[in-house]
Amino acid sequence: MVQNDKFAFIESALTERVQSQRLRSLQPLQPIDAVHVVRSGQVLLNFSSNDYLGLSKHPTLIAAAQQYTEQYGTGATASRLVSGTYEIHQNLEEKLALACGREAALLFNSGFQANSTILAALLDRQSLVLCDRYVHNSLLQGILASGARFKRYAHNDLHQLEAGLQQAQQTFSRILIATETVFSMDGDRCDLDALIDLADRYGAILYLDDAHAVGVLGQDGMGLAAHRAGVDLVIGTFGKAFGTFGAFVTCSRKLRDYLINYCPGFIYTTALPPAVIGAIEAALFLMPTLEAERQFLIQQSNHLRTRLQSFGYDTGASGTQIIPVILGAEEKTLSLSGWLEQQGILATAIRPPTVAAGTARIRLALSSCHTPEHLDRLIGAIQTWSIL
């Protein structure tokens, strides 16, 4: 008896990716400093990192990580509900809640884990979710895992969102609005005031992913949703402007208690290790002192956007440190990315399925550690490519 290859589907899937020129692979690199890396022996100026304030190489964070490792060990050794809640975890959560102007905070091991498991814990099959079409895949995974009914409204189209809310006045167990504050692939923002108003008027839970704003925008850099009444849950991450690892949710004390008891992604995973907690503590301590760096980052972003637009490039509705150069065609996008690498610049091509078909782009992510000379180098390289 001849048996079928039980992994034939893998060969088929990978072949499809090869044929469509969308096969992804890992390309290891070695970081040098906040904005330079080495890949395949070549030093590259990095415009693809989310280390928006350069804190991943900050000596205060490194020292804190080393100190916490020496004092508490290399791992938390258990889940939070067993024996993995050290005082340092609880103290950090209290400081995060205070910094964000919220009642409570709860640590998670990653932004993807937080979104994919918190939403699944909040919703059931009788729930309705209305989410922006451009939300991160992690939010979609959480919604799908819940079994809730969901509709995606056009990007930042609050008229369509309100129409969905009006049509939803039936027997749903709960209604939830999910969106990002700063969109990860487009660098534009949601209309937070309008979302708060809609959630209040229609009795909807407002769930915001603030990952790309935390550290960069808002009061003391704690995000666009910090200190905002009317927002029910906010997800923040430490792997971007905080320069370390992990995530958190801020919410009411009652919601925190609920998640501790009903959120599988929190209950059944080992707590963040002490070194990570130490680095986060150090970053949180520094945040109020980094206003000059945030302002410089905004100025640099505005300058780069203006120059790119002067060359005729489409940067979408970006108004933050994330600047897409939307080229549309995948071949063209790969060509520019390859050219920039030849010039010693890392600027990764972002293609479907990460972004919608016909919107392939170079996603430029700026850091406050990028100097004017770094930007001039990038601008010059793109300008040269434009006339080749």
Between the alpha carbon of residue 358 and those of residues 189, 270, 329, 332, 372, the distances in Å are: 22, 41, 6, 11, 32
Question: Using alpha carbons only, how large is the chain's radius of gyration in Å?
Answer: 22
Q: Catalytic annotation on 240?
A: yes
Q: How confident is the model at residue 239, as a pLDDT?
A: 98
* Catalytically annotated residue among 58, 89, 155, 212: 212
Q: Which two tokens stand for residue 81?
A: 């509900």
Segment 289-305 mean pLDDT: 98
Q: Is the pLDDT of residue 1 over 70?
A: no
Segment 290-306 mean pLDDT: 98
Q: How many CA within 13 A on the CB side of residue 100?
A: 32
Burial 295-315 (b: 16+ CB within 10 A, else e): ebbbebbeebbebbeeeebeb
- Residue 242, Cα to own-chain centre: how many angstroms? 12
What is this structure's pTM?
Answer: 0.95
Segment 313-330 mean pLDDT: 97
Q: How confident is the model at residue 35, as a pLDDT?
A: 97
Q: Is the pLDDT of residue 2 over 60?
A: no
Segment 307-332 mean pLDDT: 96
* Catalytically annotated residue among 46, 48, 49, 50: 50
DSSP 250-282: EE-HHHHHHHHHH-HHHHTSBPPPHHHHHHHHH
- Banded pLDDT at 170 (limits 50, 70, 90): confident
Q: Catalytic annotation on 136?
A: yes
Q: Catalytic annotation on 180?
A: yes
* Catalytically annotated residue among 58, 240, 370, 374: 240
- Banded pLDDT at 22 (limits 50, 70, 90): confident
Q: Is the pLDDT of residue 112 over 90?
A: yes
What proportion of the chain, given as a percentage, has pLDDT over 90?
Answer: 95
Residues of the chain with CATH 3.40.640.10: 57-288
Q: How confident is the model at residue 168, as a pLDDT?
A: 87
* Catalytically annotated residue among 51, 93, 180, 232: 180
Q: Catalytic annotation on 293?
A: no
Q: Is the pLDDT of residue 243 over 70?
A: yes
Q: Is the pLDDT of residue 3 over 70?
A: no
Between the alpha carbon of residue 329 and those of residues 315, 325, 349, 352, 359, the distances in Å are: 15, 12, 11, 10, 7
Segment 163-178 mean pLDDT: 91
Nearest to 272 by CA among 117, 88, 118, 138: 88
Could you say which of 3.40.50.12280, 3.40.640.10, 3.40.1350.10, 1.20.1250.20 is the CATH number of the domain covering 57-288?
A: 3.40.640.10
Q: Is the pLDDT of residue 388 over 80?
A: no
Q: Catalytic annotation on 50?
A: yes
Q: Is the pLDDT of residue 211 over 60?
A: yes
Segment 92-100 mean pLDDT: 98
- Domain 27-53+290-386 in CATH 3.90.1150.10: yes
For the stretch 51-67, pLDDT in tens is 999 999 999 999 999 99
Q: Catalytic annotation on 376?
A: no
- Banded pLDDT at 135 (limits 50, 70, 90): very high
For the stretch 180-193, pLDDT in tens is 999 999 999 999 99
* Catalytically annotated residue among 93, 132, 188, 209: 209
Q: Catalytic annotation on 209?
A: yes
* Catalytically annotated residue among 46, 56, 109, 184: 184
In single-letter form, the type of residue at position 358 comes to G
Segment 323-337 mean pLDDT: 96
Which residues have a Cβ under 8 Å from the Cβ of 253 and sit 6 or more positions away?
Answer: 103, 104
Q: How confident is the model at residue 293, as a pLDDT?
A: 98
